[in-house]
Structure 1
């Protein structure tokens, strides 16, 4: 049986374009014991995939040239040689191929409950984005009621959840995003106290100082770069900085210069901790429990930018780097 898949055609230098992807048709092998035949329904596109396009050591192996891109997928079971999985069941997996259909091992997937939750949420608020937001803010940031929390990339899949959890925990929350529409939505739909458009603000330091008159206790960093440079002088004594991503530099071909922050870290006893949610598995069940509860209690809202059509996966992924998403960017096959 021939199915469509999208592979890495070339390793990019700098900002990728559509030429790094190739769509092709392949024959699926026969289904073996311990395997499941799935059809992709929803595909996640994520900034971390940029690092996997480089042939360099990292926390996860690079994508192989001429092999399918992998990511989080929600899929339907078509055939199964595994007890407990039946045709029509919906599953998810974090490292499934960009393919319309695929043969995968039972170890690569898990069932999902869609009785009261949209299946696509398992790629966002109940997937790695939501769990990342919870672990970074709650476990590393340790928010206390009354504290000030600043979130960069606040309109993205992680940032949107971070800000709302901080509000649930009684914090004052300032989001940083890149369009006036995102700024409006953060304040009117998602409960942020203030939001700053970094693209139109000439002096981010001054804007942050005005929005944070008592300084900043937690800075959830999704972006890095000049945004983070502007935050650091405003960090309070014993501030916490969970470092989740640095999307501003993912396509740089050289290391950009930056201010020396360590003197400030020492003087104000600032905690900076980079983290990867894959290494915080002991907190995943706790995160899922709270996120599901908050969703059902309508304390937590989520936004998705859904692109229709499997062939538009590369286009949707490239759109992440120009801020075309509000919340989680998802492709519906």
Structure 2
């Protein structure tokens, strides 16, 4: 296969509310001959992630919004199939951020070589052993300062970050780990496979009530992927000196209007709480420590994972929309 064409998915409209297929288009591009120092990569997997919804807005954020008419950027992993860069010969497995395309081409500096380790699927470099896992690890350790014996509550616990965070919390010595999810199947998976001590379906009853029942002794750490009623419930449940790592607010990503804020912010003062938002790009100095610890845990058989895989670049939008609706368990990926 020559890989001289690249099928790519581009954003053409800024969605208001839920995105639809009409907000995207598929283009096929003829790739030019390699210039000196460039490589061509046949992608194996591309990542679809909640943060991408935020980048579809033309608004201030931690990273520039997607430009209309340009290919969706994001994590991908593949193998070099043609090279004019000696440091990345043909056959090298590489990670990059060129996103939603089946073939990527560019300067070698845009691609990071990855160890092609036996027994480690390449897809995990985008999930549990990649940026997703790093996000979970940094949130617990560097942001929330989790300590042995802490009771930890994780919202959106059956997603890619949540399944990683629950396991890491347990391995780091948490006294109790509690998670929320949106289906009974996911709740059962959290306790049977991912080491959660308790979990609840947030659709069954108010989160405030369910968290209070699951954590009668209160919580010390909150890892938030959801926001909204989950943050409000955590503010009620916090013990004195509680800490929150705010990683996502998926409840508001597709809202047509501003979502209401918590009604109990006064607890921040009376209980001496600390809430800190973060994005992983500002904490990459922790990556070597994470890779070492996660690698050891994985080699020891201490980490489980699920992947929800959609086949074909033409179904990247389907995968993204399904992920935003919570149809995935673990990491959502598109297999090329």
TM-score class, shorter-chain normalisation, is over 0.9
Distance in 2, matches of 1:20 and 1:101, equals 22
Structure-2 residue corresponding to 1:92: 95
Distance in 1, matches of 2:6 and 2:259, equals 42
Contact residue 47 and residue 99 of structure 2 kept, 8 A: no
User: Where does 1:34-113 land on structure 2 (aligned, <5 Å)?
Assistant: 34-93=37-96, 95-113=97-115
Distance in 2, matches of 1:35 and 1:2, equals 16
* Counterpart selection for 1:185 from 189, 213, 226: 189
Distance in 1, matches of 2:303 and 2:104, equals 34
Distance in 1, matches of 2:209 and 2:84, equals 61
User: Where does 1:167-316 land on structure 2 (aligned, <5 Å)?
Assistant: 167-171=170-174, 172-199=176-203, 201-316=204-319
Q: Deviations over 1:190-230 (max 9, x none)?
A: 1110111011x223222211111110100100000112212
SS of residue paired to 1:97: coil
Contact residue 28 and residue 102 of structure 1 kept, 8 A: no
SS of residue paired to 1:23: strand
Moved more, 97-106 or 124-133: 97-106
Is there any run of 5+ residues in structure 2 with no aligned partner, and where?
A: none
SS of residue paired to 1:183: helix
Q: Deviations over 1:38-88 (max 9, x none)?
A: 111100000111111112232111111111111100111011111221112
Q: Deviations over 1:102-159 (max 9, x none)?
A: 2122121111112231100010012111000000001122222222100001001111
* Counterpart selection for 1:115 from 92, 114, 117: 117
Is there any run of 5+ residues in structure 1 with no aligned partner, and where?
A: none
Q: Deviations over 1:150-193 (max 9, x none)?
A: 00010011111111111112211001001111111111111110
TM-score if structure 1 supplies the norm length?
0.96
Contact residue 29 and residue 103 of structure 1 kept, 8 A: no
Contact residue 5 and residue 103 of structure 2 kept, 8 A: no
| 1:91 CA drift (Å) | 0.7
Distance in 2, matches of 1:173 and 1:123, equals 25
Distance in 1, matches of 2:211 and 2:54, equals 30
Moved more, 182-191 or 56-65: 56-65
Q: Deviations over 1:290-323 (max 9, x none)?
A: 1111111111212111111111100000111211
SS of residue paired to 2:128: coil
Change over 3 Å in CA distance of 1:290–1:14 after alignment to 2: same
Matched residues, number: 331
| 1:3 CA drift (Å) | 2.5
Question: Structure 1 residue 18 and structure 2 residue 21: aligned?
Answer: yes
SS of residue paired to 2:85: coil
Q: 4+ residue runs of structure 1 moved beyond 2 angstroms?
A: 258-262
Q: Deviations over 1:234-272 (max 9, x none)?
A: 101000000000011011232122234431101111010
Over the residues paired in the alignment, what is the CA RMSD in angstroms?
1.2
Contact residue 100 and residue 310 of structure 1 kept, 8 A: yes
| 1:97 CA drift (Å) | 3.3
